[in-house]
Structure formats: C-alpha cells, structure tokens
Structure 1
Amino acid sequence: MLEKVKGFIIKTQDYGETHKIVTLFGQHTGKITAIARGAKKPKSRMAAVTQPFIYGEFLVYVTSNLGTMQQGDIVESFRNIREDLVKTAYTAYVMELTDKLLDQKVPYDYLLMELYETCCWIAENKDASYQL
C-alpha cells in the first residue's frame, strides 16, 4: 500500500552498489524500514532525501517486511547539526536510542514531535555541548 509518511530518517545502511536501506520514523506508521533504490548514485534525486536527520515527507510503498521509498521532499534538513561534530554526536545518540527503543509499525505521534523539538533545540543552540 502506497502511503505518504511525514517523519525522520533515523538510520541508513548501504545495500549493494547503488541502493540504501533507510529506517524511517513516521507520524502514523511508526518505525518502518524501506529500500531507496539508486540513492547512492551522485545524481540521484533520492541522494539528498535519504541522509540521516532529515525530516521530510516521503512516499513509501509499505509492505509487511521491507518497503520501497518512491520519492521524498525535505521539510527540515538540520544542516546546522551536520556542520558541528558535537551536535552530530548528540543527535546520532538520540536517533540511535529512538531506533533501539521503538517497535516496528507502532505509531508514536507524541514521541515524533518530541524528537523534532529536540533536534530543533540542538540545531539552534550555540553551546549545546555545554547545556546537555
């Protein structure tokens, strides 16, 4: 079933020479895993959308096991986080905790909004490393 999912890319994993397997934490779908075909190609339209910490709207063909990501639009890229090593480390830790603690395909709408607010806080604060 084809679904429009608004959420975070919390983890990516290379698959073959040109594909990526992404773990997506969506608003109504919960944590799902999908393959993004051709996402490792430099000129692919999926290359920018399948980066970690991207908050966006994705069109995903959801199945019982491994879905397929058809397309995506970036809502918030959190570029400030990727440019700072300390902020990247904190955000990666939060994303890893989210990945490990959540069950597959169980919606956690409140937790998604908290994750978004946490990433916004980390991105906006200059001294995030000293306040955590």
Structure 2
Amino acid sequence: MREAVTLNGMVLLSAPSGEFDRRLVLLTTGRGKITAFAHGARRPGNPLMACTRTFVFGKFTLYEGRTAYNLQSAQVANYFDELSSDMEGACYGSYFLELADFYSQENMDATEQLKLLYQSLRALLKPAIPNRLVRRIFELKMMVINGEYTEQPLSPVSDSCAYAWEYVVLSPVEGLYRFALTDEVLREFERVVESGRRRFLRHECRSLEILEVLTSD
C-alpha cells in the first residue's frame, strides 16, 4: 500500500456511493482537483460523516489508489455550518464550488483557487459585505487566476468602478474583501463583471440558475 498523503483542501462535491460510502471531489493545494472515496461515511456514528459534507475545509489524509483516493481522516478547520443554514448564502457558496469544480484540474497547483474559495465563503458570512458584491469579486478574481480577463472593464465606467476592478485584479486573495461600493457603483460593477463572465467564464452553472431565481426582484 502506498504511504498516506495529507493535503489542504475543500470538499467541492459529496455524493452517495454504494450503500454506506461517499464519493468526494476535493480541491487541494498540491494535487488540484481529486476524487476520493470515504468508506463507511454514511454509517451512523462513522467519524468520517462530519468531514465529508460540501464546504468542509481542512487537512485531508488519503491513500492514493489506481483511479481515486481513499479518505482516511481529516482535521477540519472550518465546516461553514452558517452557510448550510442560510438558503441564500448556501446558493452563493454552491455556485462558487461549482465554478471551481469546472475550472480546476488534476495535478494542477490550485493554491490560489483554494484561497479564493475560502476567503469568498468567509466573506458571505460577513453582513457588512453584500453577497452581490462577494459574487462579482469572486467571478472577476477567478478570471484573473485562470488567466482570462482584461486589465480594464470591457466598457466605459466611472472612476470608482474602474478602481474597484483594478483593485480586484491586482490585490492578493487575502485582501480582496476590504472595500464597499455605493449602490450605483455596485450596479455598474455588476454589469461589467457580468460582461466578463459571459465572455471568459463560459460554463453555465445550474447553481447560478437557482441563485438568480432566488435573488431576482
């Protein structure tokens, strides 16, 4: 048997497998997106039950198999339980996970994507930052990490909106969620980021469809 590896990561997807197992998709720093099976995780009282939910962030200890990994244990740093109990926050978070799942790859350095996910989920829990703004910052920074973006907005905007765009493009992930916008500038920022999303983030996320229905006026 191969030696166990311990990876920092987040659960992007968790689905039943067989009678008692779970199939996980993890985004990890060292090995990108990987598939792992948590054997017995659906049995009552199994120690893997709590750490195999979506949004769970921590250190995962796994054994590598021929086509997938087997989860041995996890040291959870954040369960993001507050998101699970907030329908709107959970919808935003699920959209972030789906987008990261689509654009991440196996054996790819996913450090920046993982940091963006973690910081964005934390931002959803802060009442001072509108979820609408969190979404657009996440989308723009995801474009930057993927290397598909424009240095300036795709259409003319106010100085405030242009500054917000530049701030997101140039700032490290840890410093992204440190500004606010007036309602007028936020609408402008939403418009130009949406133009970029349609041009560069071409995946149509089902979770986004649900989110837009939920948050529509």
TM range (shorter): over 0.9
Q: Which among 80, 83, 96 is matched to residue 98 of structure 2? A: 96
Q: 1:31·1:107 contact (CA, 8 Å) conserved in 2?
A: no
Gapped runs of 5+ residues in structure 2? Answer: 136-217
Query: In the alignment, which residue of structure 2 is the partner of 1:76?
Result: 78
TM-score normalised per structure 2 = 0.57
Distance change in 2, residues 1:19/1:126 (3 Å): farther
May I ask how many residue pairs the two structures share in their alignment? 132
Query: In the alignment, which residue of structure 1 is the partner of 2:64?
Result: 62
Q: Deviations over 1:49-80 (max 9, x none)?
A: 00000001110112341110001121011111
Q: 1:12·1:20 contact (CA, 8 Å) conserved in 2?
A: yes
The percent of aligned pairs where both chains have the same amino acid is 23
Query: In the alignment, which residue of structure 1 is the partner of 2:54?
Result: 52
Q: Greater RCO between the two (CA within 8 Å, min separation 6)?
A: 1
Paired residue type of 1:42: P
Query: In the alignment, which residue of structure 1 is the partner of 2:12?
Result: 10
The runs of at least 4 aligned residues of structure 1 exceeding 6 Å deviation read none
Paired residue type of 1:11: L
Rg bigger for which structure?
Answer: 2
Q: Which among 35, 38, 43 is matched to residue 36 of structure 1? A: 38
Q: 2:100·2:113 contact (CA, 8 Å) conserved in 1?
A: no
Q: 2:36·2:68 contact (CA, 8 Å) conserved in 1?
A: yes
The structure that is helix-richer by fraction is 2
1-side partners of 2:44 and 2:92: how far apart? 28
2-side partners of 1:76 and 1:47: how far apart? 15
Q: Deviations over 1:73-116 (max 9, x none)?
A: 21011111111000000000110111111112212211111111
Gapped runs of 5+ residues in structure 1? Answer: none
1:41 deviates by 1.1
1:26 deviates by 0.8
Q: 2:60·2:75 contact (CA, 8 Å) conserved in 1?
A: yes
2-side partners of 1:64 and 1:113: how far apart? 28
2-side partners of 1:109 and 1:130: how far apart? 24
Distance change in 2, residues 1:126/1:48 (3 Å): farther
Q: Which among 85, 88, 95 is matched to residue 86 of structure 1? A: 88
